[in-house]
Amino acid sequence: STPRSQKRTASSVLPSTTSSKTVPAPTLDRWVDEFLTQAQFERGLSKNTVEAYRRDLAVWRRFCEMEKLGPKDVRPVHVTDYLERLRRGLPPASKVLKASTVGRMLVSVRSFYRFLAQEGELEADPTVTVGVPRQTRSLPKAIPLIDVERLIESPPADLLGRRDRAILETLYGAGLRISELVSLDVDDVDLDGGLIVVVKGKGSKSRQVPIGKAATDAVTVYVRSARPELARRTTAVSSRGALFLNARGGRLSRQGCWKVLKGRAEAVGLDAGVSPHTLRHSFATHMLDGGADIRVVQELLGHASLTTTQVYTLVSDSRLREVYESSHPRAQG
């Protein structure tokens, strides 16, 4: 078949770092360019996904250089060796990588070689028989309700404090991802109906999420008494519709949201590992502990698969065991 690169021009993605004639790096670079272009414009993958592919394939390229492997020389044993090196922190890795990261990097290499096989550039995909590294299942980190309440009630009543209270109430009240929170516009929130319309969820899927009275009240106070003052601090058109603004009046960034939570957590003496996602985990765990149906929680979180949500049931099960062992008269033998 005619290589796609003859039909369109793509800039070099992974510049050559070796002059060895045994490694036809320009060909690998060209194929990577083709793969990334196809992923972005034909498969419609997000910019973040394409960038992750780019970074992962840069590491794979370094491995091929080390082993003097041409693009068509790769065999399953090479892929397996590559994954083992990543797991142990050996070159081309600069440190020991988690199993989840190694698994993701295999997915990148596998997607690349599947593309080459489909394009007729290779007779067979060398990654098809390579298994994904086993991942240890880690439970989501959730904090007790009393700590959530301490965290949410910690901001002062000043301008930014009212904003921070609204941020924390919304993260926990709706179980939002940090990316969903900072992308909210004023028009996405129905304060009268108690609904947040999440229009920029993961995978570009929209959903409606209800928020309780506490979050509704906090956002209402912020919108009426704090946001107008913050909005006057900038003339940028791009941030005019943003719900949560920074101290300069621009749209609050992910980093800014992290800073807010970190400051509040430190103020009340919570673990430094508390993150915006901690409140999302706590939202799901507390909902299930309260008797919510797992499919309802799945819908609220915006999970495409119930399997993703089921990990929270393990948290709830552990909580049930704690209560049982501390309460049942014969639990301790």
Q: Which of 78, 141, 277, 319 is labelled catalytic?
A: 277
In the residue annotation, 78 being an active-site residue is answered as: no
Q: Which of 177, 227, 264, 281 is labelled catalytic?
A: 177
**Burial letters for 98-115: b for 16+ Cβ neighbours within 10 Å, e otherwise?**
eeebbbebbebbbbbbeb
Residues 6 or more apart whose CB falls under 8 angstroms from that of 214 comprise 152, 169, 173
Q: Which of 110, 200, 202, 254 is labelled catalytic?
A: 202
In the residue annotation, 259 being an active-site residue is answered as: no
Hunting for tokens 């800014």 — which residue is that? 256
Would you say 239 and 227 are in contact if contact means Cβ atoms under 8 Å apart? no
Residues 95 and 108: their CA atoms lie apart, in Å, by 19
The Cα diameter of the chain in Å comes to 76
In the residue annotation, 330 being an active-site residue is answered as: no
Rounded to a whole number of angstroms, the distance between the first and last alpha carbons of the chain is: 72
What one-character-per-residue DSSP string does 11-73 give?
--SS------TTS-HHHHHHHHHHHHHIIIIIS---HHHHHHHHHHHHHHHHHHHHTT--TTT
Q: Which of 61, 162, 251, 280 is labelled catalytic?
A: 280
In the residue annotation, 295 being an active-site residue is answered as: no
∠ CA 133-139-144, nearest 5°, is: 165
In the residue annotation, 53 being an active-site residue is answered as: no
In the residue annotation, 281 being an active-site residue is answered as: no
Kindly list the catalytic residues: 177, 202, 277, 280, 303, 312
